Amino acid sequence: MAFRNIFVSSPSYLYIDKNRLCIKQEFDQTKFDIEDINSLVLESRDSTISVYTLSQLAQYQVCVFVCNARHSPSGVLLPFCSHSRHLKALKSQINMTQEFKDSLWQAIIKNKLQNQAKVLQLFSKDKADYIFDLSNKVQPGDQTHTEANAASVYFEQLFGVGFARHQDNFINAALDYGYAILRGLISRTIVAYGYEPCIGIWHKSELNAFNLADDMIEPFRPFVDQFVFSMVERHQDFDVQAKRQLFAIVDSSVTVDEKKYNLNNAIDKVIIGLNQSIVNSTVILPHVKLTPIERFKFL
């Protein structure tokens, strides 16, 4: 199982040598076995990487993120058709009924709201009980927009009155950064199980290549939220060090059906549950439970 998550923030030259990824910088050179690499973030826009290197990373299902001028993840390289029964999985995905998708979405949003309530409780914020009560009122397809109602309360309780997700500020930049990392890891796992990331359960935008990932990310978003709140609590700038710490979410522990896993294995368990749900036409999604962050990550 791959376990290394590499963050490249300085200008580097990346190449493959004897099945190892070599990262050459001005005064240093580091090598990693490709089979050990889980994800790679190229934060420095002055780095150079060859097509051959990218193809080798894709072959080993390494999730490669590239960043934009604001140093936030703007693209991800995913393996192509890595599943042996891709067409069979794709047909099952396309043939999901609306009633079944509504039931899946109900389970996903209920789980998300439970984790949001846990975040508020963790940081001694008000309205945790209110959000938890809302989680039990989510209807199939969330027809009463319980998720949106919860969000308006949740984010203001966590980040202060007047905060909104559309604002251009430190908090939203950090949230978007963390969500982008999760989105890429989830997309990679979706592809590994033969499904098409653009065909979603609730998200349906024709301009979005990751609709299904944006569905499955929901119970995991509060994991990023607690990381970002801890940064805000310490008045930390959103600099390279903060991004390294936020990227450390990939090493977090996540509880799935009362068992602890690292984030990658937790995502795998959830997508296995999605696969079983689609195959059996019944909701068999595991429960993702928020695990408090380890404080040492911020020392």
CATH of 86-298, one of 1.20.120.920, 3.40.50.150, 4.10.780.10, 3.30.365.10: 1.20.120.920
The pLDDT assigned to 83 comes to: 55
- 3-state class of 190 per DSSP? helix
CATH of 4-77, one of 3.30.230.10, 3.40.50.10490, 3.100.10.20, 3.30.565.10: 3.100.10.20
C-alpha separations of 79 from 75, 152, 230 in Å? 13, 37, 34
pTM of the model: 0.85
- Domain map of the chain by residue range? 4-77, 86-298
224-228 — which CB contacts under 8 Å span 24+ positions? 224/175, 224/178, 224/179, 224/182, 224/249, 225/116, 225/119, 225/158, 225/175, 226/119, 226/122, 226/123, 226/290, 226/292, 226/293, 227/174, 227/178, 227/293, 228/171, 228/174, 228/175, 228/178
The pLDDT assigned to 1 comes to: 66
pLDDT tens, N- to C-terminus, the chain (299 residues) = 678 889 998 899 999 999 999 999 988 899 999 999 988 999 888 899 999 999 999 888 888 988 887 777 888 887 765 555 777 888 999 999 999 999 999 999 999 999 999 999 999 999 999 999 999 999 999 999 999 999 999 999 999 999 989 898 889 999 999 999 999 999 989 988 889 889 999 999 988 889 999 999 999 999 999 999 988 888 777 888 888 888 888 888 899 999 999 898 999 999 999 999 999 999 999 999 988 876 434 44
The pLDDT assigned to 245 comes to: 82
The pLDDT assigned to 51 comes to: 92
